[in-house]
């Protein structure tokens, strides 16, 4: 990776706007077909993202190069009540920077923060044919717990089967 690369935990609103722009550029280019979104994010969503971080509902890490160019976003989103020890993991890396170990570095750090903050079980739900993500998660120690039929929907008629993968921290 570039020597200017760094990982930022729970970025401020200014950096979160850069993160939303990163997502939107990749949504427009259809680089993340499994994101289940056709529409770009409204930049006003930055307030909701920031509030989640402040409330401890999510831990978000971004990978940055050249001071402010976001090339990856990863998060743990916690459950509540008797699922408070469980978190869902999400990760994307800009296609230009994939296969350079970015996701590996960021997720290892994210899991460390999760453990420190009491997360015991981490879940991820890759679409059944998202082989890159399935291989990546397996290498990170996630186990296949079975298929969840029609777990996600892209629109009113398009549903996706996903693999329930989980790792105990």
Ligand X SMILES: CC(C)(COP(=O)(O)OP(=O)(O)OC[C@H]1O[C@@H](n2cnc3c(N)ncnc32)[C@H](O)[C@@H]1OP(=O)(O)O)[C@@H](O)C(=O)NCCC(=O)NCCS
**Counting contacts by CB under 6 A, is residue 61 touching ligand X?**
no
Query: Could you count the other beta carbons within 10 Å of the beta carbon of residue 97?
Result: 18
Q: How far is the CB of 81 from ligand X (least distance, A)?
A: 24
Distances from the Cα of 83 to the Cαs of 78, 114, 127, in angstroms? 8, 14, 23
Rounded to the nearest 5 percent, the helix, strand and coil shares of the chain are 35, 35, 30
Please identify which residue in 139, 150, 153, 158 interacts with ligand X, judged by CB under 6 A: 139
- Decide whether 100 or 121 has the Cβ nearer to ligand X: 100
- Calculated CA dihedral for residues 153, 52, 65, 89, nearest 10 degrees: -50
**Counting contacts by CB under 6 A, is residue 130 touching ligand X?**
yes
Element (H, E) at 7: strand 6-9
Q: How far is the CB of 16 from ligand X (least distance, A)?
A: 19
The stretch among 5-13, 15-23, 131-139, 146-154 that binds ligand X (CB under 6 A) is 131-139
Q: What are phi and psi of 145, to 5 degrees?
A: -105, 10
**Counting contacts by CB under 6 A, is residue 24 touching ligand X?**
no
- Decide whether 81 or 146 has the Cβ nearer to ligand X: 146
Q: Per-residue DSSP letters for 99-168?
A: TSSHHHHHHHHHHHHHHHTT--EEEE--BTT-HHHHHHHHHTT-EEEEEEEEEEESSSS-EEEEEEEEEE
**Counting contacts by CB under 6 A, is residue 32 touching ligand X?**
yes
- Decide whether 17 or 127 has the Cβ nearer to ligand X: 127
Q: How far is the CB of 32 from ligand X (least distance, A)?
A: 5
Please identify which residue in 73, 92, 142, 160 interacts with ligand X, judged by CB under 6 A: 92
Q: Return residues touching ligand X (CB under 6 A).
A: 32, 34, 91-93, 98-104, 124, 126, 130, 132-133, 135-136, 139
């Amino acid at each position: 990776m570039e020597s200017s690369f760094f990982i930022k935990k729970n970025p401020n609103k200014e950096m979160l706007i850069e993160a939303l722009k990163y997502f939107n550029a990749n949504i427009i280019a259809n680089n993340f077909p499994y994101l289940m979104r056709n529409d770009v994010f409204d930049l006003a969503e930055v307030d909701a993202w920031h509030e989640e971080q402040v409330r401890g509902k999510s831990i978000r890490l971004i990978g940055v190069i050249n001071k402010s160019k976001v090339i990856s976003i990863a998060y743990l989103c916690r459950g509540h009540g008797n699922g408070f020890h469980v978190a869902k993991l999400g990760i994307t890396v800009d296609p230009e920077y994939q296969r350079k170990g970015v996701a590996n570095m960021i997720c290892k750090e994210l899991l460390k923060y999760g453990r420190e903050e009491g997360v015991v079980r981490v879940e991820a739900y890759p679409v059944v044919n998202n082989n890159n993500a399935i291989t990546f998660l397996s290498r990170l120690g996630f186990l296949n717990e079975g298929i969840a039929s029609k777990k996600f929907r892209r629109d009113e008629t398009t549903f996706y089967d996903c693999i329930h993968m989980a790792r105990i921290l």
